[in-house]
Structure 1
Amino acid sequence: MVEPRETRVKRLKMRAMRRGIREMDLILSAYADARLETMNEGELNLFDQLLGENDQDLYAWVTGQSPAEGVYAAMVDDIAENYQK
C-alpha cells in the first residue's frame, strides 16, 4: 500500500524534529516546515534518505565543516543557507 502524501509529509516532519542532536532537530524541522509541502516526490525521497544519515555527518555538512555527499549537496546547501542560525 502506498503511503498518502499527507501522511508522508507528517512522518517526515516528525522524523526531522526528533533526530537526537538538538541543533539538528531545530535546523531540520525548520527546513521541513518550510519546504516539505511543496516538494515533489523525488525531493521527498531525497529528504527521507537524508534523514537516515548520521547526525554528526549532517551537522558537519550543514555547518560547512565537511562537504555534503554529492546526492545531498544541493539540499544541504539550501538548509545551510536558509535554516542554520
Structure 2
Amino acid sequence: MDGLELRRKRAVYRALHRGTKELDLILGRYAEARVPLMEEAQLASFETVLAAQDPDVDLWIRKGDAPGELSAIVAEIRDFYRL
C-alpha cells in the first residue's frame, strides 16, 4: 500500500468517526464515495476539512460559506448532497 492509499483510508475512517453523528453521516458517506478516487491535492483539502472543528464544518456545509482554500472541496460536498 502506497502513502496516498494509506491517506485515503485514514481520511475515510476519520470522516466516519468525527464525534458528531450528523457529520459522521454527511462526511462519511461522501468520503466512502469520493475519497478512493481523489488525487493528492483534493485529498489534502479534504484532510484540512477533517481537521477543522465540527461547528465550523457544519456551518460551511449548511451555508456554503467556507474559507477560500476550502471552498472548492466544500462546494463538492454540497453538490454531492445537492444542497
Q: TM-score, normalised by structure 2?
A: 0.87
Contact kept, 8 Å, 1:61 with 1:68, in 2: the verdict is yes
In the other structure, the counterpart of 1:9 is 8
Q: Calculate the aligned-residue CA RMSD, in Å.
A: 1.8
Could you tell me which runs of 5 or more consecutive residues in structure 1 were left unpaired when the two chains were aligned: none
Please name the residue that 2:51 is paired with: 52
Higher helix share: 2
Count, aligned residues: 82
CA offsets per residue over residues 21-77 of structure 1, 9 Å max, x none?
Answer: 11110010111111111111111111111100010000011011x611111111111
Q: Flag as ranges the 4+ runs of structure 1 deviating above 4 A.
A: none
User: Following TM superposition, by how much is the alpha carbon of 1:84 offset from its aligned partner in structure 2, in angstroms?
Assistant: 6.9
Contiguous gaps of at least 5 residues in structure 2: none
Residues in 1 aligned to 2:8 and 2:82: alpha-carbon distance in whole angstroms: 21
Cα pair distance change 1:46/1:19, threshold 3 Å: same
8 Å CA contact 1:30, 1:83 repeated in 2: no
- Which segment is superposed worse, 74-83 or 20-29? 74-83
Partner AA of 1:58 in structure 2: V
Q: Following superposition of structure 1 onto structure 2, how do residues 5-84 of structure 1 map, counting pairs within 5 Å?
A: 5-64=4-63, 67-83=65-81
